[in-house]
Structure 1
């Protein structure tokens, strides 16, 4: 019996010696990977388990992914040790960050599509805790997370601002509740499908049977269209039926849904369209309006001036809610639902400009000035490095000489000039201001040489 106990103990010791030590996986291509924190965690396991030689290589082979797995092969076999591997990994994959980089990651934080509010809040909490030398208390970090998450999603903002959140436990309890509520809403919406609205567009062509505008051939209700078909059919007694007519124009060839005189809905009608053709290299500058300084680019290929929606909220001026179709931006055309007419100052020149408001994701520039600003008696001079605006100088030309032909400048002088003017005065009333469009015969034949 003692022999069986000893054999079982030896078997357990042999099995424990063959247990594979697995480290935390690391991939440098993951956006939030941190080689410094991974080395600190792995160093605790290596020192506790005393991993050296082949055991260390096997553990690292199973944990390192991607580009860092090939770095182990660059170390000489006799120099493989944890300090050497740690120094090489940090030198190749460490991402040095300054203090402002930590704040930039927090300010630019966004919730991913696959993240629940609780998972996004945990990622944000960890980003705040990584700020070096901060040592922020828990209630300060909680308020910081609430402020950033409220800017990312309206549902989260309503839930978090409805109560006073003081600690981490209360914050994540609310965020987990938002996750459950979102799942329940999606389940209910998937069961009840909304009724699909049938969209119909007015046919603006003409029927090839009756040649009337407003319907297609297979929709024609004219009884004479059957006479155009060369099909022999047996005569059947005519059945009396009520003629259907359009209640808008009282025409029997079509119904009201296809009537060309049907009024267009206000939301479907566009006030006009503008062509926006952007150059590959545009001129940049700065303008002042409503107490703000905005960067702009000038492009003469655009018929109108554009502005981002986030910047238009601060403009002071008249607002027009016309549906303007802007062609030439990206692949598809974009509708601008709002126009703002305000006063701007460009290089000391006051101007009145009408801006067409666009969503922020449709343009990279804050303001785009088109050739419509040149209608304000303005000229522009562009070179490779700068752009200069200045007032255009207008020259008034006389269209009619008040003193006849006495003041004209000729190459003749004296009596020869008087003879020329006397000849021109005979035909003075027949002169025109543009190029002649017909041939004039004087009756004098030119002599041939």
Structure 2
């Protein structure tokens, strides 16, 4: 009767553990073990098949296949923890954990409360069985690792747990000859200098003559009518700076220079005879800019623009554009002259088959740096050696094949044999 009247125990004794997925970026094996310890702290009777069933539901990804290989009869939770840590726990020192935590940041979309809770769980799982001295040493090493980068090797490779061992390791590092503040300023200034754009001499353009390679104050073709700054003199005992007088060396009169001397100016005359009193007259004439002769090169459906120059002995291509063409790379040292105001040494060539204005040709391109060539591709007069001719008009470039001359033999007329006309001969 007692058995029948006894109320059945409907308490659900099943345990659901948190999932462990080692492929996730934020998975921490020690934090997961600490959480499972809380779940199994009141259930000491769980072992063997019950423990295997509970853990198999929690393992995901590669951990599930790994767990099916290491499960054994009468397995206990303590035994599983040792096997689990040897497989999924990263061999990381306590100081390395703190150093990574200090240099880390919250993930995208993660609030500060969740980030702080994650760090708290991480440190508690690492410091669960650490004594006070080891935690203090780890904090000091992590802080000093931010000051001295050479200390990172000791932090990540060796577990330093006592004060005496820490002192011995730090004695191996030499003292700085400069203070940390000076090194920080030097690194900051170097970083700022590296961020400043530096213009090469090739890309520098003179606004006086329009040529590349020099600046306006270095231009040798500047007009001589620009007056140079005159030296200044300072009276003794006064702070007022006075400009020295300018004297013309042609007429000896102060107030102007020889290039602006009025005695050398031409005198207007109504006669037809030219004025001979003036030595020279300087006039400025604007020169028009000629547009380059361009066309299109095609290879496997991809188009590249080119410029034709009949004065070039060979064809040129930029280094960045040569990576987009398919061909045979050759190695030969060739010195190219006439590229700007200097000589360029080319050590590689590309033999590529391209379609040039509807004609399939093989061209040997000389690869040069991008700064030395204005257009992507320059076709020289070596194209004419391939049996092609170039016709240039005001708005387009046409490439045609050269006409071949065929010698025709002369056929002499033959006289008609009248004897064959008779019926007897037939």
After TM superposition, the score normalised by the length of structure 1 is 0.28
Greater share of helix residues, 1 or 2? 1
Larger Rg: 2
